[in-house]
Structure 1
Amino acid sequence: MNLNNSEIFNENKYVLHRIKFFILILLEIPAVLISLLIFIFFRTHRSRLKIRQNGSICLLLIVNFIKLSTDIPMTIHFFYFHYVIPAISTYCTWWTFLAYSLSSICEFLTAIISIQRHILIFQPNLLQIRLRRYILYYSPLLLCIIYPIIFYMFAIIFYPCDGTQWIFTENGCGFANCYFIYDKVLSTFDWLVNNGLPIVIILVANIALVVRVIKEKYQRQQIITWRKQRRLTLQLMGVSSLFLIAWLPSLIIALVQQLISPEFALQIQLDYITELIYLLYLLLPWICLGLLPECVKWISKKLSARRIVINIVRPITIHNGI
């Protein structure tokens, strides 16, 4: 019996959703475990948390963990059932609000952390004064959390809409928010400022930091060693590449849709490009772990101690002679 076009399409969708489901599950579990291990490390080593670099990384991880615990499980749930459940407008509104706001918070936090790293490495004395510390360190981090929540609350939750635009057979209800469909000015601002700008800042700040570190190496070799420089360079390349791979394709397609044609690469974006962004949040705990060598040593020590205990407490079989 020959399958019609609709049946072939549905079969292809089924296979694609299954593949995405298993990939997300395989990446979600270790991402959550790594995040929890880092949180436990900071809980048991509070002195490490007082270091400003570690404090900002922990804040980024907390927001990322919320996304791992809310948005991504909702996506996994969709790929398992191939349909949005419950298929109601309210669910789609809050789902996209969580997805957009948490993603934007992570981007802005990473951008600010990249800028603050210049201060922490090259001008740490600027943060010795309390007022400067609040202006240059705490306030930007707080703004990174408050601004996206307020923006998307008005753009998604309070935006006047009848709720008939949602696509319940697509992930994220098709991400068919009314402002994104009917308001080109607001949607273009969203992509340029809330998504594009942080990515540009992250790339420029990290590249500039690498250049400054290399320059410092040749000027003051006794202070910045090559080993530290090499490790920092690899870390920054990892962070920059992760954000670039995850966001750049989606940003380019979205801008073309807003400025030229709304249908440009729409199905490709829904089926493949959007899922690249999930890799960012699923791999971010591993990147953060690489930024915390003390945590890596602590985990290794715990695993080694556990293996020793297992080897010692092995069941002994006693053979009774006759």
Structure 2
Amino acid sequence: MIQNKLLQEPDFLIPYPIRFWVYLFSLIPSLACSIFVLYHLLIDKVLHNALNNHVIIVLLLNNLVYQLIDIPLSLSFYHLGNVWPASPILCLFWMFIDETLFSLSLILVGGASIQRHILIFHKQWLSTNKKRIFIHYLPIGVLCFYCIVFHFITILFPPCQNRFNYNMSVCGYPLCYYDIRPMLVWDIAINKMLPTLTIVVFSIALLVRVLLQRRRIHQHIQWRKHKKMTIQLLAI
């Protein structure tokens, strides 16, 4: 299979024991930070009600699930050297979690890149509860629903037969639907390339719009004030 072949060689570049300890030492502070930030965003009503924090909350929940499920499965594999228990059900579950959460993070950040323009330049679009439901809440829900349903169908009920390799991480990642060209093109183009392109284009556009608006209202543009945002956008 296409993806399986791509993963076979790089899988052994870094010894499993080293990967295990790197993952473990990274997981502990990462998990603590996720819980800490998520706790304050959910407890503090001001932060919780701020529209710009809603996507961040969903992303944190998404990452928390990844840290609690996907990373421990990887730790088990790197510790034992194989998938345990060697079960097709575990492999399907692992692939579903891994692929869904990765795609969901990418798609949500892409959606957030668009919503930032609305929150900054078109606040009147969110002036009523009805507008907020259709323009803010509904898109987030639709993106999450689409991502979960797409991977639920393609991974758990694919129109082909997956072949698992219990001696490789994520059971060799045997996504057999990658051998079906229309599904492969859709997954790469819509779930991977489109969100990435959206993030880049709309982030750069946001920076340009902010700078142009400041010039338009005759305010002096100070590089220090925009340096942090510029670095963040260029780092995407």
Q: TM-score, normalised by structure 1?
A: 0.65
1:236: how far off?
2.8
Alignment of 1:220-235 (within 5 A): 220=217, 222=219, 227-235=224-232
Partner SS state of residue 87, structure 1: coil
Q: What amino acid is the match of 2:182?
A: V
Task: Count residues with an aligned counterpart.
Answer: 226
Q: What amino acid is the match of 1:110?
A: V
Alignment of 1:56-71 (within 5 A): 56-71=55-70
1:13: how far off?
4.1
Q: Alpha carbons of 1:224 and 1:112: their partners in 2 closer, same or farther (altered >3 Å)?
A: farther
Q: Alpha carbons of 1:75 and 1:227: their partners in 2 closer, same or farther (altered >3 Å)?
A: same
Q: What amino acid is the match of 1:70?
A: I
Q: What amino acid is the match of 1:208?
A: A
Q: For structure 1, which segment, 224-233 or 152-161, has the greater mean C-alpha deviation from structure 2 after superposition?
A: 224-233
Q: Deviations over 1:153-183 (max 9, x none)?
A: 11111124454x1111111111112212x31
Q: What amino acid is the match of 1:134?
A: I
Aligned to 1:278: none
- Counterpart pick for 1:192 among 184, 189, 200: 189
Give distance in 2, aligned partners of 1:40 and 1:172: 30
Give distance in 2, aligned partners of 1:121 and 1:231: 17
Aligned to 2:173: 175
Partner SS state of residue 166, structure 1: coil
Alignment of 1:8-19 (within 5 A): 13=12, 16-19=15-18
- Counterpart pick for 1:204 among 181, 201, 205: 201
Q: Deviations over 1:58-97 (max 9, x none)?
A: 1111111111111122112111111011112111111101
Give distance in 2, aligned partners of 1:46 and 1:227: 31
Q: What amino acid is the match of 2:185?
A: T
1:129: how far off?
2.7
1:237: how far off?
3.2
Q: Alpha carbons of 1:223 and 1:152: their partners in 2 closer, same or farther (altered >3 Å)?
A: farther
Give distance in 2, aligned partners of 1:38 and 1:206: 24
Q: Alpha carbons of 1:63 and 1:133: their partners in 2 closer, same or farther (altered >3 Å)?
A: same
Alignment of 1:1-322 (within 5 A): 13=12, 16-163=15-162, 165-180=163-178, 182-220=179-217, 222=219, 227-238=224-235, 240=236
Question: Where do 5+ consecutive residues of structure 2 fail to align?
Answer: 1-10
Q: What amino acid is the match of 1:203?
A: V
Give distance in 2, aligned partners of 1:147 and 1:82: 34
Question: Where do 5+ consecutive residues of structure 1 fail to align?
Answer: 1-11, 241-322
Q: What amino acid is the match of 1:218?
A: R
Q: TM-score, normalised by structure 2?
A: 0.87
Q: Alpha carbons of 1:210 and 1:87: their partners in 2 closer, same or farther (altered >3 Å)?
A: same
Give distance in 2, aligned partners of 1:74 and 1:190: 24
Give distance in 2, aligned partners of 1:221 and 1:64: 42
1:137: how far off?
0.8
Note if contact 1:156-1:177 (Cα within 8 Å) is conserved in structure 2: yes
Partner SS state of residue 70, structure 1: helix
Q: What amino acid is the match of 1:192?
A: A
